[in-house]
Amino acid sequence: MLQRLKNYHISRLRSVVTAVMAALTCVCLAHRASAQELNCQVEFNTSQIQGTNKSIFETLQTAVQEYMNTNHFTNAQFTTNEKIECRLFFTLKENNDGVMKGDLQVQSTRPVYNTNYTTTLINFKDTKIEFEYQEGQPLVFSTNTMESQLTAILNFYAYLIIAVDFDSFSPKGGQEYWDRLQQIVQMAQSSGETGWKAFEDKKNRSGVYDAFTQASTMVARDILYDYHRAGLDEMALSPDKGRAKITSAVEKLSAIYQADPMSVVLSLFKDAKLDELVNIYTKGTQTEREKVAEVLSPIYPTEMKRINFIKQGINKEK
């Protein structure tokens, strides 16, 4: 994590730069090697597809993993141990002459400063995956054109992972990558392919982009910083101070809920953070626990078991 903090101290962690870190950074910069941004694990589940040559899926998995782990999506400097940990898990359900359909589970994590703990940033299921692929087909990376439906999907999630990660380290620090996401969405929408259409589905790729960038729900990006950099990263030094910032971040969910009760941001937060909140508030004050439970209860009425764990300060693992 120290390497990660040093790597981003100018663009992502201005608020925590110290003279010691600056001195260390000057030494490290002379020896830093540029590396690609992602350490992405890719897996394809094709058990629902019968009677198909399985070698095409092995080739596809290798191609996607190489695409995510060898292309440079940004100009930012990363060392190998600073790469963003992420995972793409495809569940393919159909393969009709190379036209494949299924789901994609996207996950990403980030380390918490001064601990061995990693926290989930994204845990999202895309149910509208459809693309064409022929065995041996090269996956060509481009930021200016839509080379294929598959590369558009991969680019979208690469930049989403990067944008969210950067936002978690500095206030709206991922703006450059949200701008690139906008270009990807616009190009893909013009293709008419599934999963991109505006207003078709609040939880498709267009819906995810809109939820983080529309004025009414953009506070989600502030939550990313407040929860992670101002909150979790501070807890090793001051648990009470860090938890107070997390409480403040959770309270901002109410603004999103009031603006759009069906916003995908709310389900993204639930899937990434609800279990973590249960553990965080086992050491919280009764006032904090009740405040957080009061915010979460109307937003997640089907999650009252976990919300009550928070309210009661119960570690569900015990």
**What residues does each domain of the chain span?**
35-213, 221-312
pLDDT in tens, 13-26: 333 322 333 333 33
pLDDT in tens, 162-192: 999 999 999 999 999 999 999 999 999 988 8
7, pLDDT greater than 80: no
pLDDT in tens, 63-113: 999 999 999 999 998 888 899 999 999 999 999 989 999 999 999 999 999
pLDDT in tens, 282-295: 999 999 999 999 99
Using alpha carbons, list the distances in angstroms from residue 94 to 66, 90, 103, 136, 304.
23, 12, 10, 19, 37
Average pLDDT over residues 115-143: 96
- Residue 34 pLDDT grade (very low, low, confident, very high; cuts 50, 70, 90): low
Cα–Cα distance between 5 and 113 in angstroms, integer? 8
- What was the pLDDT predicted at 277? 97
Q: What share of the chain is helix, strand, coil (3-state, %, to 5)?
A: 55, 15, 30
pLDDT in tens, 233-283: 999 999 999 999 999 999 999 999 999 999 999 999 999 999 999 999 999
Residues 6, 21 contacting (CB under 8 angstroms): yes
pLDDT in tens, 207-227: 999 999 999 999 999 999 999
Q: Please name every residue paired with 118 in a beta bridge, in sequence order, or none if there are none.
A: 111
- Residue 52 pLDDT grade (very low, low, confident, very high; cuts 50, 70, 90): low
Cα–Cα distance between 110 and 94 in angstroms, integer? 33
Report the share of the chain in percent with pLDDT over 90.
78
Cα–Cα distance between 143 and 154 in angstroms, integer? 12
Using alpha carbons, list the distances in angstroms from residue 62 to 44, 97, 135, 146, 198.
10, 20, 11, 21, 32
- What number of other Cβ atoms are within 10 A of residue 23's Cβ? 10
Q: What is the pTM of this model?
A: 0.89
Cα–Cα distance between 270 and 273 in angstroms, integer? 5
3-state secondary structure of 171: coil
